[in-house]
Amino acid sequence: MSEPVTETKVQRVERLKRELNPWGAYAEIERFARDGVGSIPPEWLGTYFRWWGIYTQGDGVGAVGGKGGEGPAVPYFMLRIRIPNGFLTASQLRTVADLAERHARGIADLTVRQNIQLHWVGIEALPAIFRALTACGLSSLGTCGDVIRNITGCPLAGLDGDELLDASALVQAATAMVNGSPEFYNLPRKYKVSITGCRVWCSYPEINDVGLTAVRDPYSGRVGFSLRVGGGLSTRPHLAPRLDAFVRPEQVLAVVKGVSEIFRDSDVLRQNREKARLKFLFLDHAWTPERFQTALEARLGFRLDPAMPEVLPDEAYRDHVGIHPQKQAGLVYAGLPILRGRLTPDEMRAIAELALRHGSGEVRATSMQNLAVVNVPAWRAAALERDVVAAGLRLDGSPFRRGTVACTGSEFCKLALTETKGFARWLVEDLEARLPGFQEHVRINVTGCPNSCGQHWIADIGIEGKKVKVDGRLLDAYYFCVGGAVGKYQAVARPIGYRVPAAHVPEAVERLLRAYLAGRRDGQTFRAFCAAHTDDELRTFLAGAEVAAVVRDTPAARSPTGSTADDRTDPTDPTDPTGQERRP
């Protein structure tokens, strides 16, 4: 008698996707809302809900509280709201505020892909939330799952005086083409697209599956796009290579469609969920940019023009904080730093009111988890600033407040090893007290697990959540990766072998930044300073003494988070009180 065949994880997910397009099964969600959380079958909890922007929510302990690298869920959900190009109206922001207050315990988080996430959502509330979102022109469709996620772009599209092209209409058109389309409901894995016309590439095209950045043809003066494909972070970061292509604006939709079809039809990427992103064609299957372009042009049915010379962003700081002029004469925009991206309903309503009172009623979400009020008459800037302060908000901030990004963390994420949102706020406030006069641009990215939702691989200082045992207690800890960059000096941050409990992170960052201030030469940037020093030297700066390197990951069997069992319970022995082995 033959043994029953057991499905692997990837086989089960692929079967479920073939059996049902969740976008055509909304009636099931309404049934679950009527019948209660106990009526939801596993295939919806673990797979189908994601196509509607719904994730099961963790119990606050994260992966450490569960088995196999994933923590247990509570009977509540996270709902992610899609905001193409980050464009919001005051009315839409008010709607999100109302939903957060009524159904999400007053919590809303801005994400690095210009979305807004709600937490603590009960199954019975989903139909009312969907109706409210639809009524104001928003949607959660396609913000999770094996689909084309929110398409990002420059939040100042149409307003930036230095932009080459307002690409926001292309973002909206591409969204309409793919989101909800049965052609693209079943991709091998999640898939990310960025289209920007700005010169500083503030939507980080380098880490997207498709990155289109405006470039000018020096001969004709016409503006089109450079094309990069196969970018992504997670446990194996890969910065997208550029193809030899100049994409005309009228070709953008066809190119997005063609690249997406290549990904969709790559069965080799459907064999392992951990190696299913587009980047693995390059990392594991010997694809080259030339091979990819040949395949793309075969899909398109025409040859793309050769690439044009492009000017890469040079040490550009890609945030939009403060009051700055727009290209429209007499108008300014006001960027508000939102620490760790977290907003209360009252804060969202206040920002919506600011947009209506002083601007055109429009708000823009940025990839740095901030918001901008736009189209403000310059003569109203002073009044706007007064109202911002009166609302308990800010128009400026220290480099730490402006430059720190944090993922969801173990507060709500089942895959996270560490709590990140509260930690990021404490870290910023502590660094502001330790280094009150620090004025250099430094990007600090906090991620709660190796999956890099907090984008630590492209940060000046990226810290990745781990666990260490100190005096027999398992504590949140962070491993340092230093020197990441995008643009002209693009590089993946270097894991430098330093890990400490979370409580010791601020003092380590302070030591590193003081070493930078004391040792930099002729206005040297922090990125350049890190590039000029070895891993051992940077580790010594962080620790304040020579310390032995610790491994970032151990060769045990990997969990679904990409971390290992040893990462979650590593007792680091012998240790000093910081969990780092010191050299004798």
Catalytic residues: 80, 189-190, 448, 453-454
Q: Match 């050769």 to its residue by tokens.
A: 306
CA–CA distance, 213 with 242 (Å, rounded to integer): 10
Residues 6+ apart with CB under 8 A from 277: 188, 189, 190, 191, 209, 232, 234, 269
How many Cα neighbours within 13 Å face the side chain of 203? Answer: 34
Asked whether the beta carbons of 431 and 506 are under 8 A apart, the reply is: yes
Record the tokens describing residue 174, joined without a space: 């591409």
Q: Which of 416, 426, 429, 456 is nearest to 563 (CA)?
A: 416
CA–CA distance, 455 with 233 (Å, rounded to integer): 7
Burial of 38 (0-12, 13-18, 19+ CB in 10 A): exposed
Residue 39: what are its φ and ψ, rounded to 5°?
-90, -5
Q: How is residue 315 annotated by DSSP?
A: S
How many Cα neighbours within 13 Å face the side chain of 521? Answer: 6
Q: What angle do CA 434, 438, 443 make, to 5 degrees?
A: 95
Residue 470: what are its φ and ψ, rounded to 5°?
-130, 120
Q: Which residues pair with 333 in a beta bridge?
A: 324
The angle, 0 to 180 degrees and rounded to 10, between the axes of the packed helices 345-358 and 381-390 is 160
Residues 6+ apart with CB under 8 A from 433: none
Asked whether the beta carbons of 500 and 508 are under 8 A apart, the reply is: yes
Could you write out the DSSP letters of every residue in 320-331?
--EEEE-SSTTE
Q: Which residues pair with 365 in a beta bridge?
A: 371
Q: Which amino acid is at 136?
A: C
Q: Which of 296, 281, 175 is nearest to 247 (CA)?
A: 296
Secondary structure of 404-428 as H, E, C letters:
EEECCCCCCCCCCCCCCHHHHHHHH
- Reported as type and span, the H/E element at residue 6 is none
The angle, 0 to 180 degrees and rounded to 10, between the axes of the packed helices 126-135 and 90-103 is 170
CA–CA distance, 279 with 236 (Å, rounded to integer): 9
